[in-house]
Amino acid sequence: MESGERRAKAERMFGLMDGFLKNDPLSLQKDILHHVEYTVARSRFSFDDFEAYQALSHSVRDRLIERWHDTHQYFKRKDPKRLYFLSLEYLMGRSLSNSVINLGIKDQCADALRQLGFEFEVLAEQEGDAALGNGGLARLSACQMDSLATLDFPAWGYGLRYQYGLFRQVILDGLQHEQPDYWLNFGNPWEIERVHVSYAVKFYGTVEEETLNGEKYKVWVPGEMVEAVAYDNPIPGYGTRNTINLRLWAAKPSGQYDMGKELRLKQQYFFVSASLQDIIRRFKETHNDFDNFPDKVALQLNDTLPSLAIAEVMRVLVDEERLSWEKAWGIVCKLFSFTTHTAQPEGLEKIPVDLIGSLLPRHLQVIYDINFMFMEELKRLIGLDYSRLSRMSIVEEGAVKHIRMANLSIVCCHTVNGVSRVHLEILKTRVFKDFYDLWPQKFQYKTNGVTQRRWIVVSNPSLCALISKWLGTEAWIRDVDLLMGLREYATDVNLHQEWKMVRRVNKMRLAEYIEAMSGVKISVDAMFDVQIKRIHEYKRQLLNILGIIHRYDCIKNMEKSDRRNVVPRVCIVGGKAAPGYDIAKKIIKLCHAVAEKINNDPDIGDLLKLVFIPDYNVSVAELVIPGSDLSQHISTAGHEASGTGSMKFLMNGCLLLATADGSTVEIIEEIGEDNMFIFGAKVHEVSALREKGHADKVPLQFARVVRMVREGYFGFKDYFQSLCDTVEGDGDFFLLGDDFTSYLEAQAAADRAFVDQERWTRMSILCTAGSGRFSSDRTMEEYAEKTWDIEPCKCPI
Ligand code: T68
């Protein structure tokens, strides 16, 4: 087309578009009705809550798309260095409330709906959770995306669009059953299918050699190809026009290929290959030389799951772009950074060599070549210390050879990050000691954080309003350190009144939910004591339950007249057990068996209740956290890399009962030990305790509660024996017996504090006031500066 002609066409198109969509209630109503009629295809005179939710979501999505287009146009024009965040897991939860809040149109939407006879909150409840991940790591990715968008960083998220989300947990007779989560069955208005953004991903086959101009090249002749197609999910920032992209890959045609069901390695490579083809294509649009690839691209590996990306970049640069191995290696070393989320050596990912060799034959060669080069260098540096060489090798020898993905990542990344200060200490002295001694400069930590947009503004609107009122500004939603300003009013009686009122209303909401779900009536005057997280032995839900048994036993053995002094408690437990994790499933069963006994004991009444909340997920957390008084983070010291649930409770003014593990150590520094209930062995004491053995010094109270379980006091005697074995004698690896006495003391201290409501409220205010450091905004700023070397790129309004 001639340039004049093109301009005329552009002008005509511009004239046809009526500027940007408007956000006043009337315009929103028009859009909603338009979507009811033409998108949902229902009559605008008759549609239900779900259809209204769909139409509203499409109206919101239109507004997201405008900003998302502008943001990408702007990024393209400015061409800043971009961050690509590679993660196999994201727990996004619901999107509607978060989107309207970040777009700044929540009140207008609520008004618009009210006039149409709908209520925003009711429609928001229609949405299902997007649960494309397991636990802390996956929710962290979601929080970080929100912060990257809000802080205007030129970032992209990449992930997989699984057909099924994390299983639904259904409890039958106290036992966990897993049901598939058909999250896409009712459509997903938050994604945009990009049929034209698709790439072929190769698998299997052989590696052949080819000679071109006298040079030899490796050519991978695949045995199978699968097409990856992009689904884009706009991620709006708060208080900015910037809206970034989370691009998730699905296999096409999806009927034949469901990557959600494929073996993990195949999923990982599918993800890595599609993402890198996309990233390299984008780079090549504006650059024709790979020398400045690392100046324009930062690749962040969220744990080792995406670490095949390292071998893939080497393969593409050497085999396809025909760079020399040395040149490609120089580029790779500047591209990648890696964050590990585990503190346990057993948690490190290993892949059988034979599996990689068959699925990805060329990648196995690349990994072996990297390892050869590394081993040669290592021998030069440390000499022939064979045991150290074999520990550090990327290849683990043995009957079945494995590739150690963490070693591959450490060797090839410029930075290795831990997720809390203690975690880095553990990496340096234990998990990756050999590597730390070699390359101390590579090792850093960035303490995790969570987004206050989701965890206060979306999930606790009344607390949000209260904070803004007392601080006289909403600026804390972007600049969370301002929360510190609340310290000034920590003893103000008026704030105390309002604070207690907000907390009480949230407790009522939670009590209603619990009654509807479990039939158990609970009193809002009781202390709501909550432990919600994945069920794992190291997280010690069993310690909590044994403590509850002890409390029950004490009340039963008390004189009636003494019961007046008992602080009423509602203990709330929630979380999923991995489907194959037997002991975790027994813990869930024990929780139900104990609840059955306690809740039906007329002698106990409101003094103690225990409820298990089934199917814990992001939206359940949004309801439970604001309604909690006390929350438990009681992992055996040295086992929780960070922990992020604690940060959400802290922001909401819930007190913490915790061990000095993971990020709790840093929370103590911010909040002060006086405003928390800290107990248990410290990180440096744990190994000595384990060596000493337990048999001689188990507290009587502990032996007694375990015996109650063993002897069938709660039924299911045979079933619980193996569970009891895990905490008795030398079985007690996680030191429940050792920590039991100090755990009970911390619980007693919590009771005493709760009785003094003025003191409790002051502590609660100080928790929120001191939570600023645990915002993912701070974490993302640290990564941007110290690891990724990227700068904000703010799209003009
Ligand atoms: C968690 N890890 C840590 N891993 O346990 C937690 N891993 O301490 C930390 O706060 C959180 O990460 C965020 O840093 C995980 O959630 C996984 O879910 C996982 C999944 C697959 C493979 C390895």
Query: pLDDT of 683-738, one tens digit each?
Result: 999 999 998 876 567 999 999 999 999 999 999 999 999 999 999 988 999 999 99
Strands (E), 471-583: 527-532, 569-574
> Which has the closest alpha carbon to 631: 681, 573, 559?
573
Indicate if 44 and 135 belong to the same structural domain: no
- 57 Cβ partners below 8 Å, 6+ apart? 95, 96, 127, 189, 190
* Ligand 1 site-directed mutation target among 143, 340, 341, most atoms within 8 Å of CB: 341
DSSP state of 450: B
Global ipTM: 0.98
Omega prior to 345 cis, within 30 of 0: no
**Segment 113-146, tens digit of pLDDT:** 999 999 999 999 999 999 999 999 999 999 999 9
- Strand 206-212 vs strand 215-221: parallel, antiparallel, or unpaired? antiparallel
C-alpha distance from residue 106 to each of 458, 521, 724, 753 (Å): 10, 33, 51, 38
Spell out a b/e string for 390-401, using b for 16 or more CB atoms within 10 Å of the CB, else e. eebbbbbeeeee
In a domain, 6, yes or no: no
Q: Confirm whether 664 is a catalytic residue.
A: no
Same domain, residue pair 542 and 399? no
Same domain, 688 and 563: yes
At 262-315, the pLDDT tens digits run 789 999 999 999 999 999 999 999 999 999 999 999 999 999 999 999 999 999
Q: What angle do CA 716, 719, 725 make, to 5 degrees?
A: 120
Of 151, 84, 147, 154, the C-alpha closest to 449 is 147
Any atom of ligand 1 within 6 Å of the Cβ of 135: yes
Catalytic residue among 71, 644, 659, 664: 644
> What CA–CA distance (Å, rounded) separates 443 from 448?
16
User: Is 382 contained in some domain?
Assistant: yes
Residue 642 Cβ contacting ligand 1 at under 6 Å = yes
Answer positive or negative: Cα dihedral of 357, 363, 367, 368.
Answer: positive
- Residue 329 sits in the same domain as residue 422: yes
Distance 343 CA to ligand 1 centre (A): 10
DSSP 261: T
Does residue 788 lie in a domain region? no
Flag whether 791 is in a domain: no
Residue ranges with strand state E in 361-431 = 395-396, 402-404, 415-418
Decide if 341 is catalytic.
yes
Pair (467, 440) in one structural domain: no
In a shared domain, residues 89 and 99: no
How many whole angstroms from its chain centre is CA 552?
34
521 contacts 512 by C-beta, under 8 angstroms: no
Residue 148's domain comprises 80-93+130-446
Residue showing tokens 């994201």: 90
Final residue of a structural domain among 411, 446, 481: 446
Domain count, the chain: 3
Query: 159 and 61 in one domain?
Result: no
Burial of 6 (0-12, 13-18, 19+ CB in 10 A): exposed
Active site residue 9: no
CATH code of residue 479: 3.40.50.2000
Instruction: Note whether residue 551 is domain-resident.
Output: yes
Q: Is residue 453 a part of any domain in this protein? A: no
pLDDT at 19 over 90: no
The answer to whether residue 249 is domain-embedded is yes
Q: Which of 10, 134, 146 is nearest to 617 (CA)?
A: 134
Same domain, 440 and 487: no
User: Which residues neighbour 54 within 8 Å (Cβ) at sequence distance 6 or greater?
Assistant: 35, 39, 40, 187, 189
For residue range 216-227, list pLDDT tens digits in order.
Answer: 999 999 999 999
Same domain membership, residue 439 and residue 569: no
- Mean pLDDT for 419-445 is 98
Q: Is the CB of 662 under 6 A from ligand 1?
A: yes
Q: What are the φ and ψ backbone dihedral angles of 248, each rounded to 5 degrees?
A: -110, 140
427 lies in the same domain as 394: yes
- Tokens for 125? 């409840």
Closest CA to 439 of 423, 406, 415, 405: 415
Task: Based on the fold, state whether residues 373 and 479 are members of the same structural domain.
Answer: no
Distance from Cα 499 to the centre of ligand 1, integer Å: 33
**Predicted confidence (pLDDT) per residue in 592-609, tens digit:** 999 999 999 999 999 999
* Residue 156 covered by a domain: yes
Phi, psi of 455, rounded to the nearest 5 degrees: -90, -10
Query: pTM score, two decimals?
Result: 0.97
Q: Which atom of ligand 1 is nearest to the CA of 663?
A: 10
Is there an atom of ligand 1 within 6 Å of 134 CB?
yes
Q: Pick the catalytic residue: 341, 633, 762, 773? A: 341
76 has catalytic annotation:
no
- Verify that 431 and 506 share a domain, yes or no: no
